[in-house]
Chain A
Amino acid sequence: MDTKKMAIIATKGTLDWAYPPFILASTAAALGYETQIFFTFYGLQLVRKDLSVLKVSPLGNPGMPMKMPFGPKWFKSINWNMPNAIQAVIPGYENVATALMKQTIANNGVASIPELRELCQEAEVKFIACQMTVELFGFNHSDFIDGLEYGGAATFFEFAGETDICLFI
């Protein structure tokens, strides 16, 4: 039986959207898939050395429950959603939301992004960074983790054209 293959294009650079590509890639690798992730546009943030750039924003995101990760059960079940206009003028609102989200993630036994990324690398998931966006956004290769390859759309198609599963995230 031929090895199955999966390719993912990761285009989002927030803490919440960092999960789908790394969860799917690490799981695919565990299932024996040869896996590649192409990081482009804001997705480049997922392969930065410093992952503290990843934040979650409740602003303009009505689907995001705002719940406290501590306290008694009745307190944790309160939804603290605020109108966008109020969220927008509170300094540090995203930092607080990100800290709360990270605590919720830890409370639920969900892996952190650095951990999932490392598991992907251990499982030999291939990471390709879009060279065009690296230049467009003024990044240097030294901003990114080791083991990245740099390429363009044609590089992506070389592998993607042979895959069983191909996702745009």
Chain B
Amino acid sequence: MEFSKELDARGLNCPLPILRAKKALGEVESGQVLKILSTDPGSVKDFAAFAKQTGNELLSTAEAGGEFTFFMKKK
């Protein structure tokens, strides 16, 4: 998937992945996609909840070898 910016939140724990993502979303334009890497298992539910509450669209969530990849489209 194409993306405009990548955020490496691996090794960070709650609530840092969400806070860093919020900041990163502030640095892209509306409609652009942010790719987020995380190792926090709690971030799967957290990013879904973040998207639902902020209106930014969570395009996909994937897991491979304990690493999570999210693609989020800025509102």
A31 contacts partner chain B, Cβ-Cβ < 8 Å? yes
B59 contacts partner chain A, Cβ-Cβ < 8 Å? no
Cβ-defined contact, A23 with B22, below 8 A: no
Contact pattern, A 105-123, Cβ under 8 Å of B = 1, otherwise 0: 0001111000000010000
Cβ-defined contact, A110 with B50, below 8 A: no
**A-side contacts of B40, CB under 8 Å:** 109
Q: Give the distance to chain A from B49, nearest Cβ to Cβ, in Å.
A: 8
Cβ-defined contact, B12 with A109, below 8 A: yes
Cβ-defined contact, A109 with B16, below 8 A: yes
Cβ-defined contact, A26 with B54, below 8 A: no
**Which of A23, A32, A108, A111 contacts B54 (CB under 8 A)?**
A32
B14 contacts partner chain A, Cβ-Cβ < 8 Å? yes
**A-side contacts of B21, CB under 8 Å:** 30
A27 contacts partner chain B, Cβ-Cβ < 8 Å? yes
B4 contacts partner chain A, Cβ-Cβ < 8 Å? no
**A-side contacts of B18, CB under 8 Å:** 27, 30
**A-side contacts of B28, CB under 8 Å:** none
Q: Given A31-B54, A32-B54: A109 and B11 within 8 A (CB)?
A: yes
Cβ-defined contact, B50 with A109, below 8 A: no
Q: Which of B35-52 contact A (CB under 8 A)?
A: 39-40, 50
Q: Which of A2-46 contact B (CB under 8 A)?
A: 23, 26-27, 30-32
**Which of A23, A26, A31, A108 contacts B50 (CB under 8 A)?**
A31
Interface positions of A (Cβ within 8 A of B) = 23, 26-27, 30-32, 108-111, 119
What are 9 A-B pairs at a CB distance below 8 A? A26-B19, A27-B19, A30-B15, A30-B18, A30-B50, A31-B53, A32-B53, A108-B13, A109-B11
Interface positions of B (Cβ within 8 A of A) = 11-16, 18-19, 21-22, 39-40, 50, 53-54
Closest CB pairs A-B (n = 6)? A30-B22, A109-B13, A27-B15, A109-B11, A110-B13, A109-B12
